[in-house]
Amino acid sequence: MEIPTVTDMSFKPIIISGVVVRDKEFLCRLGKVLELNWLHGKDHKAKRALIENTLASFACDAVENNDFISLRALLEKVDVNCGNYDGIKPLHTACELGNLDMVKFLLAKGASRELVNRFGKCPLYMAIKNRHYDVVKLLHMKGVPVNRHPVRIAMEMIQAVRSRDYPLLHAWSLSGVDMDTKDYDGYTVMHEAVSLRDKAMIAKLLEYGATPLEINVWGETAMDNAQNETTILSLFDPYFTVRFPTKKAYLLHKEKHSQR
């Protein structure tokens, strides 16, 4: 026998002439919250922290709703780098949504670009993971780093190679991270692409700035792993076979090129 679902009718909306309202019980509950009775008995410091967390949540909601007017008013009461209970700041939300105008607005208001939330994620990382290229490029242009351990970055990029997630790899490349970043075994995205014999991925990674020259913990480069694959080696020739056969030579070339 199916058990009927119990619904809390106090939160059921009442529709009058197309306008959604709430019943009296719901409005009484709302009134008690607005009276701030829930703050009674708490010291000044605790009250201030609760209010700031609440306003921070409202600020993130304003960002989510693209509501510049409400956000501007809220920022008169709370710091632009305020965070909710999860440490999520307005800039986190703007970067996650890819709202470039909102990101510019928050930066102009003094938003820190390097703060992390409770989950260890910074605004730039949020933009990368959601493939918001314009936001990633803006933050990179302003010199914002990805506040994430290089090994973790390498592991995430290697996973993107396995899943053939070109948009995510492109976002990582736009962020300015070293595309030859290594995981715990010294393994890079190029090692992974070569091991998969994925020629299309290898070609794209070369475009993104990855090389086959990094050495893993077993003393092998991606070039070494491709020795029996003529078609793959042709992708590296002559740039990494003749002109820059070592990572040192390649980095010296990049340094000279960037100074022009």
Query: Higher model confidence: residue 257 or residue 134?
Result: 134
For residues 251 and 159, membership in a common domain is answered with: yes
Confidence check: pLDDT of 252 > 90:
no
pTM: 0.78
| Owning domain of residue 127 | 44-141
CA-to-CA dists, residue 94 to 53, 86, 124, 140, 256, angstroms: 18, 16, 10, 16, 37
Q: Is residue 15 part of a domain?
A: no
Specify the CATH number for the domain of residue 114.
1.25.40.20
Domain count, the chain: 2
Q: Is residue 190 part of a domain?
A: yes
For residues 176 and 252, membership in a common domain is answered with: yes
Q: Is residue 56 part of a domain?
A: yes
Q: How far is CA 248 from the centre of its chain?
A: 31
**Residue pLDDT, tens place only, 67-113:** 999 899 888 888 899 888 788 899 999 999 999 999 999 999 999 88
**Residue pLDDT, tens place only, 125-135:** 999 999 999 99
For residues 85 and 158, membership in a common domain is answered with: no
Residue 16's pLDDT band, with cuts at 50, 70 and 90, is very low
Domain boundary among 95, 124, 141: 141
Confidence check: pLDDT of 52 > 90:
no
Q: Output the pLDDT for position 245.
A: 83
What average pLDDT does this structure show over 19-31? 57
